[in-house]
Amino acid sequence: MTMPMPQIELQPTRGHDFVPREPVFEIRDLSVSYGGNVAIRGVGLDVYEQAVTAFIGPSGCGKSTLIRCLDRMNDLVPGAKVEGDVLYHGKDLYGADVDPVEVRRRIGMVFQKPNPFPKSIYDNVAFGPRVLGMKGDLDGRVEQALRRAALWEEVSDRLTESALGLSGGQQQRLCIARCLAVEPDVILMDEPASALDPISTTRIEDLMHELKRDYTIVIVTHNMQQAARVADMTAFFSVEVDEATAKRTGVLVEYDRTAKIFTTPADKRTEDYVTGRFG
Amino acid sequence: MSRALKGGVFKGMLLFSLAVGFLMLAILVVTVLKDGLPYLDLALLTNPPSSDPEIAGARPAILATLYMGVLLLLFVVPIGVGTAVYLEEYADKSRWYNRLLEINIQNLAAVPSIVYGILGLAFLVRGIGLGRVLLAGAMILTLLVLPTVIIAAREAIRAVPDSIRQGGYALGATQWQVLSRQVLPAAIPGIATGSILALSRAIGETAPLIMIGAVTYISFDPSILGPFTALPIQIYSYLRLPQEEFKLLAAASIVVLLGILLILNSFAIFIRNRYRRTW
Amino acid sequence: MTMRISFQEQLDELEALLRHEGDLVLRSLRAAVEAVCSQDTELAEEVIAFDDDIDAQYFEVEQGIELLLARQTPVASDLRLVLAMLKDNLHLERMGDLCVTIAKLTKLTQGLPPDDTLLTGFREMGERAEQMIRVAVDSLESRDQELAESLLDLDELIDRANRRVVNRLLEIGGDQETREWGLRMILVSRCLERIGDHAVDVGEQTAYLVTGEFREFTDASH
């Protein structure tokens, strides 16, 4: 006698085991110092495409410094020195022939405090395409960017109004739209939701979930639950204090699938941090 | 003494100080208006000076003041803003020559105006042989108020939050694009206000103009490369004439001068309020 | 506006996995009862092998819940749902093991003379147990507390059937083979009755999910 067939269909994807694709960034032995103080050292990891990678760790561990290396924003800080290698699609990001302006076009950044320009909503989103001389239908680009940032519905009837009149969560989504308008490859987010209320935060997290289909996303967050929710891969950084000089330097402790970091982390420091036992 | 009483006494002292200052100004204005208003007629504005008080006017002086004002703005705004932009955006503040530049500018603002007159006489009138002309007067006044404009422009540029610049850079804009499209437009109100206030001060200057040879009696309309006078000088010269009517004409000219200053300052306030924005 | 999309998707997935596990258990039960009543040892073997599938489902649900708790930190009704699913997963897996026990007992009693009255009784108990599993799983899906509480009455019926089986066996008596068969069959009856108890436990989880209170439907004296 044969077994009767089951009545329901099983869901095909599981989302438990993240399968990394191609690496977008390959970071090797990266160290950054500001005027002689080493902020972070010896970082080695790969950032994978079409995924969300999170950098977590206590304050001062250098995670913001690290993410700012990925779009060469550290170049703007006087006295900042970057050593080691960052390969972007196999090419040295800090090569002599690389134009940082071009780097920032392809690797966008969203900041902790929403920073819309004091212009209209339209002009905010159009700024990038305009300064980069992108041809084509500007109105279309603006609309598409706003749609992708899940903001179009709320602002389509007031594009000429000042961006400063939007709420915090809307402003942050506007900044994301601004970033999307230049058609980047990677979106870096430095604590994107820490200045927002919980509902806006959840909206941004849902947005990340959608955006990762088409972009590579790297986020820095001091909220590890957020990393647990949104990230496919998580890197945990900690602070090492030099006993002799009392100088603090950030180091990479563990980098793995988020599922693993939050269920069975390999390093005790990681375990202490995610369980909240030790800052 | 009880706290409330102390608070009241303090408040009283503040009001007293306000009253003293205000009273001085009021006495001045009222006196001038009382004497001058009856003599304020179209003839004053359109006629050249003459020995007959009935038809004497201050036309050349008024025109010269206006010409110098325009020239002043044309010179001081580009130079002042340009210097401010260099110091704020491009200069490496740790370099010695930039620090020297800063110190110089701060000091120049404190130099007595007559020193500028001597400078003008030595270098412009005689040195390069410009002669005692209106252009030289405008150039001297430019130098006189340049430090003020530079300082005002620097403040305005500094007031633009760095997050705006970061946002611009992160989108792939060049330094020049960020400056011209974000920073300077946002700094315009501050720059405009500073420039207009500098202009108001310059209009009232007498000593340097006398040093470089402004004449006290001129009956034809001034030209840029010709002899000239200015409203304050005209007022002074009228005051020195024995006839009583000329003194009243001087009062009327003062009213004209005050009127010009009032218009300029109101314009500055208008611009400041119109373009004030909260970040 | 729906938010926390990926979280909701994960929850829905787990519920679907659990429903599927319930279906697998039903299939196993039906086959086990059929094996006993027709004394079909081959079918019994299939039931034993099939338990691997049930165990695989069990581990998948366990792992899914572990990850969900670690990554999504559910609270309130989400938390109660996850905890209910955690326990229901265990109950379903136990039900599967009990079906395996029934199958093993079938193999052991191969060739021994059966009693038809008892077999009819088993078919009935089997159907009752099936019904209870379905009701239990449905009550979770529809969050229906009343439906869950109706399991108590159904369990009463199984318990009575179990007692009738024991009484019937005392009546049969007979030779050694018949008595051996009878002893094994008491265990089969016990397994079916335990399956019913697990179904009631699943119902209790549904009531917990809805009300937030841990409460047994009945006390132990029953």
**Does C72 contact A at CB distance below 8 Å?**
yes
Q: What is the dihedral of CA B137, B140, B144, B150, to 10 degrees?
A: 110
**Does A12 contact C at CB distance below 8 Å?**
no
Question: Measured between CA atoms, how close is C41 to chain A, in angstroms?
Answer: 11
pLDDT at residue B278 tops 60: no
Strand partners, A252: A237
Question: Measured between CA atoms, how close is B198 to chain A, in angstroms?
Answer: 27
What confidence tier does C175 reach under pLDDT thresholds 50, 70, 90? Answer: confident
**Does C7 contact A at CB distance below 8 Å?**
yes
Q: What is the pLDDT of residues A152-200, one digit of tens each?
A: 999 999 999 999 999 999 999 999 999 999 999 999 999 999 989 999 9
| C-beta atoms of A127 and B168 within 8 A | yes
Given a contact cutoff of 8 angstroms between Cβ atoms, the answer to whether B35 and B238 are in contact is: no
Strand partners, A40: A32, A250
Residue given tokens 């209870």 in the structure block: C132
Residues C46-50: contacts with CB under 8 Å, at least 24 apart: C46/A1, C46/A3, C47/C99, C47/C100, C47/C102, C47/C103, C48/C100, C48/C103, C48/C104, C50/A3, C50/C24
Q: Which residue of B has its CA nearest to A109?
A: B170
At C220 the pLDDT is 58
Structure tokens at B121: 């006489």
ipTM above 0.85, yes or no: yes
Q: Strand ranges (DSSP E) for chain A?
A: 23-34, 37-48, 52-56, 80-88, 91-92, 107-110, 186-190, 216-220, 233-241, 248-257
Q: Which of C34, C46, C71 sits opposite A258 (nearest CB)?
A: C71
| C-beta atoms of B167 and A111 within 8 A | yes
pLDDT at residue A99 tops 80: yes
In the predicted model, what is the mean pLDDT of residues C207-220?
82
Strand partners, C154: none
Structure tokens at A120: 């209209």
Query: What is this structure's pTM?
Result: 0.83
Determine the residue type at A169.
G
Q: Which of A111, A116, A182 sits opposite B172 (nearest CB)?
A: A182
Give the DSSP letter string of B45-65: HHSPP-S-TTT---HHHHHHH
What confidence tier does C180 reach under pLDDT thresholds 50, 70, 90? Answer: confident
In the predicted model, what is the mean pLDDT of residues B238-262?
84
At C1 the pLDDT is 64
In the predicted model, what is the mean pLDDT of residues A231-256?
92
Nearest to A129 by CA among A141, A117, A115: A141
What confidence tier does B105 reach under pLDDT thresholds 50, 70, 90? Answer: confident
For A:179-238, CB contacts with C below 8 A are 199, 202-203, 205-206, 209, 225, 228-229
Question: Measured between CA atoms, how close is C54 to chain A, in angstroms?
Answer: 12
Nearest to A55 by CA among A218, A216, A202: A218
In the predicted model, what is the mean pLDDT of residues C163-188?
85
Integer CA distances (angstroms), C2 to A156, A170, A203, A227, in order: 21, 17, 10, 20
* Length reported for chain C: 222
Q: What is the DSSP letter of A74?
A: G
Rounded percentage of chain A residues whose pLDDT exceeds 90: 79
In the predicted model, what is the mean pLDDT of residues C109-116?
83
**Does C157 contact A at CB distance below 8 Å?**
no
Higher pLDDT, B42 or A143: A143
At B274 the pLDDT is 79
Q: Which of B170, B278, B279 sits opposite A104 (nearest CB)?
A: B170
Q: Do chains B and C touch (3 or more CB pairs under 8 A)?
A: no
Q: Which of A71, A106, A117 sits opposite B167 (nearest CB)?
A: A117
Q: Which residue of C has its CA nearest to A224?
A: C71
Rounded percentage of chain B residues whose pLDDT exceeds 90: 28
What confidence tier does A249 reach under pLDDT thresholds 50, 70, 90? Answer: very high
Q: Which residue of C has its CA nearest to A203?
A: C3
Given a contact cutoff of 8 angstroms between Cβ atoms, the answer to whether B113 and B208 are in contact is: yes
Given a contact cutoff of 8 angstroms between Cβ atoms, the answer to whether B203 and B141 are in contact is: no
At B277 the pLDDT is 60
Q: Which helix (H) or strand (E) covers residue B16, if one does?
A: helix B3-36
Q: Which helix (H) or strand (E) covers residue C187, if one does?
A: helix C176-211
**Does B168 contact A at CB distance below 8 Å?**
yes
At B1 the pLDDT is 66
At A212 the pLDDT is 92
Question: Measured between CA atoms, how close is B102 to chain A, in angstroms?
Answer: 19
Query: Half-sphere exposure of B184 toward its Cβ, with a 13 Å CA cutoff?
Result: 15
| C-beta atoms of B171 and A105 within 8 A | yes
In sequence order, what are the residues at sequence separation of 6 or more whose Cβ sits closer than 8 angstroms to the Cβ of residue B219? Answer: B48, B49, B50, B60
Integer CA distances (angstroms), C167 to A24, C45, C121, in order: 73, 30, 12
In the predicted model, what is the mean pLDDT of residues C2-13?
88
What confidence tier does B134 reach under pLDDT thresholds 50, 70, 90? Answer: confident
Average pLDDT of the residues of chain B: 86
| C-beta atoms of A118 and B186 within 8 A | yes
- Gap between the terminal Cα atoms of chain B: 43
Given a contact cutoff of 8 angstroms between Cβ atoms, the answer to whether A254 and A267 are in contact is: yes
Q: How far apart are CA A239 and CA A26, in angstroms?
A: 22
Q: What is the pLDDT of residues B49-97, one digit of tens each?
A: 777 777 777 788 888 888 888 889 899 999 999 999 998 888 877 788 8
Which of chain A's residues have a Cβ under 8 Å away from the Cβ of C50? 3
Higher pLDDT, B49 or C145: C145
pLDDT at residue A222 tops 60: yes
At B210 the pLDDT is 84
Residue given tokens 């289909």 in the structure block: A213
- A31 φ, ψ to 5°? -135, 140
